[in-house]
């Protein structure tokens, strides 16, 4: 049976001979569309027909893409004035959140990616970037020249932080208020389409970060149109969305259509859903299940693969389980536990939520069981947290050593390069890229960027600006950082956060970049480093500070047997050399060769890892690993002719 391809029907839709305007506005007694000329003057006003259920709609002949418009809402109280507002489904806000909307024809773009089909979860190497700070231009087009070098690095997908229209010219994107309109200062909808099309030409998938748990505090018009929000649910950012109360059907449609809008009209390959545990819904079908199901159906109709990945602190397998098993049907989720455990092991930080993690033992558990908190008691939260996900394939979990939250939500935005030594940063890279999970890099991480990534905004309301300043200081009190918070509103805070690619040619940074390239090449070359492929055995000594992970055979949750040489990953988090035993299932007797060491000379090290180690029949063997170093071993009798890395 042929599947029907979805298309957007709300908002302004170009049709034969004109534009159909459609809006859900149950808080208005009548609605008209007001058109503007190129100088911003009113060019005409046309009433929309009431279609029941608060929907108003009409086709206005002679209007075309490029026309600016707003909706004029008449109140039920005849004595009150009407108000003119942008379209809540606006596809473009060329003059910002307070300006009129603009008609866009998504079919007019000359796509060149007809043969592109997307990427599987297990093949993802994600690269998170913020458009405004990724290039000097700070635009979608400004990012395009760097796509090839990302692909050559070994990245397979860029993950773009939220681009829905936000107030001003600079923002992380989580203050978006027009969820269908790509940020005007980044280049608007055509700029985003050019970026996606260019990425696909380079063989890169594009993930987009979407925010369905709140809207920003400035410029939102949703509450003027209908009951989008409810007092029943509260989030860290204010009232929650009305997902399950009276008049919630159109609210749900707003989010389902939004996800399909990015997939269909912008050809994105995946959506990363922000803070999904802050989306509350007691419907028979949770909103997130409805969205993920709709995305997968649309992807199938389009002949493409589109992935849904959740950010959640709940450590709950519901996000990953199929709907028929009571789950939401997501393809993957972020695993913060891996990051927190690694941060504690490297830096010793134990304040805030880091107090829950023990460094090396926590990393070992994350490698074995995906989550550190899978039903055990969290002292920081003062309750049990999470549930076991041992039955879920490892390629469903996204791990990282840095991301926008873990860097930018420090008061001074320090990257790991500012908090750890050169050797520790290389160890972190190996722990990430030799892990059995899907890796995510944060922009600049691959060459050891040292510029901070700070929190920045550009709001127009002085009271709101001061509220943001105070809020940031209060947020960091638990970490003791309240007195060192840079001004979020200051332009310099934004400018300091831009990447400095000149560092790539400097000592230390060159070696870091070489290490990332080699690690990513190994992931492509060694079958058992593909997430979800191998059975994983882990041994560790928390007191001595080492971990050994052995990859062999086939993961019991894998869909097909894995064919590849067994591997042993050795991680030393101690500040001095360690003799690390290799007695693990899958580490067979024989000579094992080191095929990569972070202490190798090509990575700025001293070459302290032996080129090979003999594993005896009783499994007894040990390898001496320098302080803060990692090494990867493989049976020496297997073909290593393509080996480019060395001890």
Q: Which of 346, 414, 421, 333 is nearest to 126 (CA)?
A: 333
Q: Which of 452, 458, 455 is nearest to 497 (CA)?
A: 452
Structure tokens that stand for 581 in this block: 């035993």
User: Which element (helix H / strand E) includes 158?
Assistant: strand 157-160
List 311, 405, 511, 645, catalytic entry: 311
Q: Which of 406, 433, 595, 437 is nearest to 516 (CA)?
A: 433
Give helix 287-302 / helix 248-265 axis angle, nearest 10°: 30
User: What is the rounded CA–CA span in Å between residue 406 and residue 464?
Assistant: 24
CA 581 vs CA 341, 623, 625: distances in Å: 22, 6, 10
Could you tell me the maximum CA-CA distance found in the chain, to the nearest angstrom? 91
Find out whether 45 and 63 touch, Cβ atoms under 8 Å. Answer: no
If phi over 0 gives left and psi between -120 and 50 gives alpha, with beta otherwise, what is residue 386? Answer: left
Structure tokens that stand for 95 in this block: 């003059």
- Buried residues in 173-197 as b, exposed as e (16+ CB within 10 A): bbbbbbbbbbbbbbbbbbbbbbbbb
User: Which element (helix H / strand E) includes 541?
Assistant: strand 535-541
Tokens 């929000």 sit at which residue?
Answer: 229
Find out whether 92 and 78 touch, Cβ atoms under 8 Å. Answer: no
Calculate the CA dihedral of residues 231, 236, 242, 244 and round it to 10 degrees: -100
Output DSSP code: residue 110: -
- Does 311 participate in catalysis according to the annotation? yes
- Does 492 participate in catalysis according to the annotation? no
CA 265 vs CA 105, 112, 192, 309: distances in Å: 10, 14, 10, 20
List 87, 128, 244, 274, catalytic entry: 274
3-state secondary structure (DSSP) of residue 444: coil
- Buried residues in 578-611 as b, exposed as e (16+ CB within 10 A): bebbbebebbeeeebbbbbbbbbebbbbeebbbe
- Which residues are catalytically annotated? 274, 311
């Amino acid at each position: 049976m042929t599947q029907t391809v979805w298309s957007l029907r709300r908002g302004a839709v170009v049709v034969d001979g004109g534009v159909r305007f459609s809006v859900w506005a149950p808080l208005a007694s009548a609605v008209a569309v007001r058109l503007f000329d190129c100088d911003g003057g009113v060019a005409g006003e046309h009433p929309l027909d009431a279609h029941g259920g608060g929907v108003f709609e009409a086709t206005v002949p002679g209007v075309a893409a490029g026309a600016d418009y707003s909706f004029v809402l008449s109140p039920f109280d005849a004595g009150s004035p009407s108000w003119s507002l942008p379209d809540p489904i606006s596809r473009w806000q060329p003059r910002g959140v307070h300006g009129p909307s603009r008609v866009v024809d998504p079919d007019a773009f000359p796509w060149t990616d007809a043969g592109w089909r997307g990427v599987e979860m297990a093949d993802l190497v994600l690269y998170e970037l913020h458009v405004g700070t990724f290039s000097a231009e700070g635009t979608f087009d400004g990012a395009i020249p760097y796509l090839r070098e990302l692909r050559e690095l070994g990245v397979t997908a860029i993950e773009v932080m939220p681009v829905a229209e936000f107030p001003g010219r600079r923002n992380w994107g989580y203050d978006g208020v027009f969820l269908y309109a790509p940020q005007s200062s980044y280049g608007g909808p055509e700029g985003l389409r050019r970026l996606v099309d260019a990425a696909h030409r380079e063989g890169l998938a594009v993930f987009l970060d979407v925010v369905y748990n709140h809207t920003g505090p400035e410029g939102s018009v949703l509450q003027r149109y209908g009951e989008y929000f409810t007092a029943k649910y509260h989030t860290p950012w204010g009232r929650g969305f009305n997902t399950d109360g009276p008049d919630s059907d159109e609210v749900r449609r707003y989010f389902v259509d939004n996800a399909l809008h990015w997939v269909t009209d912008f050809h994105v390959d995946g959506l990363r859903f922000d803070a999904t545990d802050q989306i509350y819904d007691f419907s028979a079908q949770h909103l997130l299940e409805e969205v993920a199901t709709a995305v997968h159906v649309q992807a199938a109709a389009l002949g493409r693969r589109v992935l849904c990945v959740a950010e959640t602190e709940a450590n709950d397998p519901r996000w990953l389980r199929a709907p028929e098993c009571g789950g939401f049907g997501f393809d993957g989720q972020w695993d913060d536990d891996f990051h927190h455990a690694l941060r504690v092991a490297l830096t010793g930080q134990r304040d805030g939520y880091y107090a829950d993690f023990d460094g090396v033992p926590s990393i070992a558990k994350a490698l074995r069981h995906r989550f550190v908190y899978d039903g055990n008691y969290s002292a920081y939260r003062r309750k049990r947290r999470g549930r076991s996900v041992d039955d879920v394939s490892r390629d469903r979990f996204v791990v990282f050593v840095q991301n926008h939250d873990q860097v930018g939500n420090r008061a001074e935005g320090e990257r790991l390069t500012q908090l750890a030594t050169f050797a520790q940063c290389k160890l972190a890279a190996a722990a990430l890229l030799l892990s059995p999970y899907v890796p995510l890099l944060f922009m600049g991480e691959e060459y050891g960027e040292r510029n901070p990534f700070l929190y920045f905004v550009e709001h127009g309301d002085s009271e709101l600006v001061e509220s943001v300043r105070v809020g940031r200081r209060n947020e960091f009190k638990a970490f003791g950082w309240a007195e060192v918070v840079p001004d979020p509103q200051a332009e310099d805070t934004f400018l300091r956060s831009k990447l400095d690619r000149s560092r790539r040619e400097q000592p230390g940074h060159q070696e870091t970049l070489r290490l990332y390239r080699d690690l990513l090449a190994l992931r492509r070359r060694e079958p058992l480093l593909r997430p979800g492929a191998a059975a994983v055995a882990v041994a560790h000594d928390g007191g001595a500070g080492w971990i050994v992970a052995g990859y062999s055979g086939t993961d019991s949750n894998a869909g097909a047997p894995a064919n590849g040489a067994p591997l042993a990953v050795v991680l030393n988090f101690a500040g001095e050399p360690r003799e690390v035993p290799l007695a693990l299932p899958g580490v067979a007797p024989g000579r094992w060769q080191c095929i990569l060491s972070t202490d190798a000379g090509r990575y700025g090290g001293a070459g302290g890892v032996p080129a090979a180690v003999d594993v005896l029949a009783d499994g007894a063997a040990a390898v001496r690993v320098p302080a803060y170093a990692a090494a990867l071993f493989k049976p020496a009798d297997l073909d290593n002719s393509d080996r480019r890395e060395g001890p």
